[in-house]
A and B are shown apart, each in its own frame.
Chain A
Amino acid sequence: MIKKEIKIINKQGIHARPAGLISRTASQFESEIKIIKEGYEVNAKSIMGLLTLAAAYGTSVTVIACGKDEKEAAEALEKIFAAGFDE
């Protein structure tokens, strides 16, 4: 299991487009991936779940990946967060 704290750096936070990017990226991996904000947990492969996170600019979330390709999955997600979802 891999656990990472990631900060949201794009101005609008996880709205529809970033949520789409996260779920698309997460869906490429076999591992189970969760994103947690203040104890509220959602499936990173579910855009609908991600939208209910209401994660705004500046908040920190925890990404937990668990499975065969957990390392790659966590890295891939970290990368798109760090790029501010290309916004």
Chain B
Amino acid sequence: MIIKKGIGANIGIAIGKAYLIKEDSVLIERTELPKDKIKGEIKRFKEAIVKTKEELNVIREQILNSLGKNHAKLIDAHHMILMDPLITKEVPEHISSFCVNAEFALSEKISFTLKKFENIEDPFFAERKNEIMDVAKRIMSNLSNEKKMEIKDLKEPSIIVAHNIYPSDTLQIRKSDKVMAFCMDVGSKSSHTAIFAQSIGIPAVVGLGDISRIVKQGDLLIINGEDGTVTIDPLPEMVEAAKVKMNELKKKESYLLKMKNLPTATRDSKKINLMVNLDPQDDIQDFKSHNTDGVGLFRTEFLYMNRTSIPNEEEQYEVYKKVLSCEAKLPITIRTADIGADKASNIGIKGIKNEENPFMGFRGIRLFLKYPDLMKTQLKAILRASPSTQAQIMLPMITSIEEIVTAKKIISEAKNELAEKGIPFKEDIPVGIMVEVPAAALMLDQFLNEIDFVSIGTNDLVQYILAVDRVNQYVSELYDPYHPSVIRVLNLIIQTAHKKGKKVSVCGEMASDTYGCAALISLGADSLSVPLKMHLKVKEFIRNTNYEKLVGLRQRLLNMQASQEILDIFKGI
């Protein structure tokens, strides 16, 4: 029995047999061939191309029938890669001019092309190299006559284990009804495979390092997408426990849906403000049906992504108007774009690419203050959409009073420009800041004179307090929202704000974790903002808790010396 810890990419539990997708050998041996064998070698290569072509034809047919024309076009692209002169012409040329084996010639040509992808900064385009690898692997396995393991050949429900999952694999997983879950060596919470897992709703764990080398074909596995663990060859009692948990999860799902119309209040009838974090692409109707207390964080950076131009005022106005008018009586907190860090963008701003340390780099308010016109465009769009709504403006990555003052100046300029044109806006629109840098937590008493509210972004705050990059698979284990230092900083922020009569909301992932939610209520947070899909789960937890009891724990929490002790307190309640 081995338990491996990775990153949970999508929640859920699966128990099943491993289906290992072997990465074809990386080491391609170079074999020198005598002159008279060259012709035969080229013939062998061409046969492998024909075989691969037939394979692709079969896959294309299947995909066309099950997923439709658009998905099949991806296989057309793979066809074109196979027919690319770099492969059909240059590989045979390489074989004959260097008298080498076909495998080696192919790998030389492929790595030559893949090298060019190293200079591509845009992650979307950089990932296209997987397309080429995908085809290259097919040719390679046809050369070596080794049968390639295919997801479509699955006979029984299985758990896919791989080094990496490639585009054609995701197509096959999508149309297979035999894939229960997957886990892989590489990847992070935000990688395309994680998003893929969420979209088809199967449990997944990524960033496991070497899982594909440890697991053997047919090993029994338990995948736990919640805590990000994979258990290889589990003990019978572990399987039983996982089964129980799986059933619980299923029951819970249907039970939670019934909770949509119940109030978010503790057992001792204390109403807790439970808001949600939304992205522009989220389903507004789904949001409405959840009966929340508003939007604690409306992320706007997505409007700037995967494009080369800046979204104009009109385009942004439409987006903000849609969300603001949907729930006009509830507070909707719009955060000015937090571009930078892990949220890559290619809108042509200099300096946000190739940063050594992007999380500590040019992002959030820092970027916007350097490009005030960009910020003003966004502010005007928000202001225009604000009349008769409860819109609020929130500034990300604040570290100094100067930043707040300058940002507020830009807000007044935006207001003045609208006023001059006679365009209405909410004049007393509240302005708040994200407290996500320790500097802001320490200086908050001064900052509060300038702002109306505070929102704690725990994801960044925790990583800045602990100096842990949460997307780095090597240190993600050290990322710990229950570290006593984090609890103390949270307490400092909340107490400081309350002394000046200002409200504190929390919008990080910590708020949607059971113990995190409990800790934040203990510390006195005024509202919690969680992802929409976590809303009912957190509501259920709140409804089963006792407010007075949680508040009574505050002093004990602050005296703890280790995160385990803090967790133990909440496990006990």
Contact assessment for A47 and B81 in the assembled complex, using a CB-CB cutoff below 8 Å: yes
Within 8 A of B (CB), among A20-63: 20-21, 23-24, 27, 43, 45-49, 51-52, 54, 56-59
Checking A13, A27, A46 against B86 with a beta-carbon cut-off of 8 angstroms, the contacting residue is A46
B117-125, B217-225, B262-270 - the one binding chain A: B117-125
Contact assessment for B125 and A13 in the assembled complex, using a CB-CB cutoff below 8 Å: yes
26 contacts between A and B (CB under 8 A): A13-B124, A16-B74, A16-B78, A16-B131, A17-B73, A17-B77, A19-B128, A20-B79, A20-B81, A23-B80, A24-B76, A24-B80, A45-B85, A46-B85, A46-B86, A47-B77, A48-B81, A48-B87, A48-B132, A49-B84, A51-B125, A51-B131, A52-B116, A57-B307, A58-B309, A59-B308
Instruction: Give chain A's interface residues, CB within 8 Å of chain B.
Output: 11-13, 15-17, 19-21, 23-24, 27, 43, 45-49, 51-52, 54, 56-59
Closest A residue by C-beta to B309:
A58
Distance between Cα atoms of A54 and B308 in the complex (Å): 12
Shortest distance between the CB of A52 and any CB in chain B (Å)? 4
Q: A51-B129, A52-B117 are in contact. Are A23 and B306 (CB under 8 A)?
A: no
Checking A15, A23, A48, A58 against B307 with a beta-carbon cut-off of 8 angstroms, the contacting residue is A58
Closest A residue by C-beta to B121:
A54
User: Using Cβ atoms and an 8 Å threshold, which residues of chain A touch B84?
Assistant: 23, 45-49
Which of B74, B87, B121, B131 is the most central at the interface, judged by chain A CB atoms within 10 Å of its CB? Answer: B131
Contact assessment for B113 and A19 in the assembled complex, using a CB-CB cutoff below 8 Å: no
Distance between Cα atoms of A63 and B132 in the complex (Å): 23
Besides A15-B125, A46-B84, 10 more A-B contacts (Cβ < 8 Å) are A12-B124, A13-B125, A16-B77, A17-B73, A17-B76, A19-B80, A20-B80, A45-B84, A56-B125, A56-B307
Which 4 A/B pairs are nearest by Cβ-Cβ distance? A20-B77, A54-B125, A58-B308, A16-B77
Instruction: Give chain B's interface residues, CB within 8 Å of chain A.
Output: 73-74, 76-81, 83-87, 113, 116-117, 120-122, 124-126, 128-129, 131-132, 167, 306-309, 346
Closest B residue by C-beta to A15:
B128
Closest A residue by C-beta to B72:
A17
User: Using Cβ atoms and an 8 Å threshold, which residues of chain A touch B74?
Assistant: 16-17
Checking A15, A24, A47, A48 against B124 with a beta-carbon cut-off of 8 angstroms, the contacting residue is A15
User: Using Cβ atoms and an 8 Å threshold, which residues of chain B touch A52?
Assistant: 113, 116-117, 120
Contact assessment for B129 and A47 in the assembled complex, using a CB-CB cutoff below 8 Å: no
Contact assessment for A11 and B307 in the assembled complex, using a CB-CB cutoff below 8 Å: yes
Q: A17-B76, A48-B81 are in contact. Are A56 and B132 (CB under 8 A)?
A: no
User: Using Cβ atoms and an 8 Å threshold, which residues of chain B touch A48?
Assistant: 81, 84, 86-87, 113, 132
Q: A47-B81, A56-B307 are in contact. Are A16 and B122 (CB under 8 A)?
A: no
User: Using Cβ atoms and an 8 Å threshold, which residues of chain B touch A12?
Assistant: 124, 306
Shortest distance between the CB of B101 and any CB in chain A (Å)? 21
Closest A residue by C-beta to B87:
A48
User: Using Cβ atoms and an 8 Å threshold, which residues of chain B touch A46?
Assistant: 84-86
Q: A47-B81, A52-B116 are in contact. Are A16 and B128 (CB under 8 A)?
A: yes
User: Using Cβ atoms and an 8 Å threshold, which residues of chain B touch A57?
Assistant: 306-309
Distance between Cα atoms of A58 and B233 in the complex (Å): 51
Shortest distance between the CB of B81 and any CB in chain A (Å)? 5
Closest B residue by C-beta to A56:
B308
User: Using Cβ atoms and an 8 Å threshold, which residues of chain B touch A11?
Assistant: 306-307
Q: A17-B73, A52-B113, A56-B308 are in contact. Are A47 and B80 (CB under 8 A)?
A: yes
Closest A residue by C-beta to B85:
A46
Contact assessment for B85 and A43 in the assembled complex, using a CB-CB cutoff below 8 Å: yes
Closest B residue by C-beta to A17:
B73
Distance between Cα atoms of A27 and B83 in the complex (Å): 10
Closest A residue by C-beta to B73:
A17
Contact assessment for A16 and B167 in the assembled complex, using a CB-CB cutoff below 8 Å: yes
Distance between Cα atoms of A12 and B85 in the complex (Å): 25
Shortest distance between the CB of A45 and any CB in chain B (Å)? 6
User: Using Cβ atoms and an 8 Å threshold, which residues of chain B touch A13?
Assistant: 124-125
User: Using Cβ atoms and an 8 Å threshold, which residues of chain B touch A58?
Assistant: 307-309
Distance between Cα atoms of A17 and B125 in the complex (Å): 12
Closest A residue by C-beta to B308:
A58
Shortest distance between the CB of B357 and any CB in chain A (Å)? 24
Distance between Cα atoms of A85 and B122 in the complex (Å): 21
Distance between Cα atoms of A49 and B308 in the complex (Å): 21
Distance between Cα atoms of A51 and B126 in the complex (Å): 9
User: Using Cβ atoms and an 8 Å threshold, which residues of chain A touch B116?
Assistant: 52
Distance between Cα atoms of A68 and B526 in the complex (Å): 74
Checking B73, B122, B132, B306 against A51 with a beta-carbon cut-off of 8 angstroms, the contacting residue is B132
Distance between Cα atoms of A18 and B331 in the complex (Å): 43
Closest B residue by C-beta to A59:
B308
Shortest distance between the CB of A68 and any CB in chain B (Å)? 19
Distance between Cα atoms of A11 and B307 in the complex (Å): 7
Distance between Cα atoms of A61 and B83 in the complex (Å): 24
Closest B residue by C-beta to A43:
B85
User: Using Cβ atoms and an 8 Å threshold, which residues of chain A touch B83?
Assistant: 27
Distance between Cα atoms of A47 and B135 in the complex (Å): 12
Distance between Cα atoms of A24 and B83 in the complex (Å): 10
User: Using Cβ atoms and an 8 Å threshold, which residues of chain A touch B85?
Assistant: 43, 45-46
User: Using Cβ atoms and an 8 Å threshold, which residues of chain B touch A19?
Assistant: 77, 80, 128
Shortest distance between the CB of A18 and any CB in chain B (Å)? 9
User: Using Cβ atoms and an 8 Å threshold, which residues of chain B touch A20?
Assistant: 73, 76-81
Distance between Cα atoms of A58 and B309 in the complex (Å): 7
Distance between Cα atoms of A2 and B79 in the complex (Å): 28
Distance between Cα atoms of A43 and B87 in the complex (Å): 13
Which of B80, B86, B129, B131 is the most central at the interface, judged by chain A CB atoms within 10 Å of its CB? Answer: B80
User: Using Cβ atoms and an 8 Å threshold, which residues of chain A touch B121?
Assistant: 54
Q: A11-B306, A47-B81, A59-B308 are in contact. Are A54 and B132 (CB under 8 A)?
A: no
Distance between Cα atoms of A48 and B88 in the complex (Å): 12
Shortest distance between the CB of B257 and any CB in chain A (Å)? 34
Distance between Cα atoms of A19 and B132 in the complex (Å): 12
Shortest distance between the CB of B160 and any CB in chain A (Å)? 22
Distance between Cα atoms of A52 and B113 in the complex (Å): 8
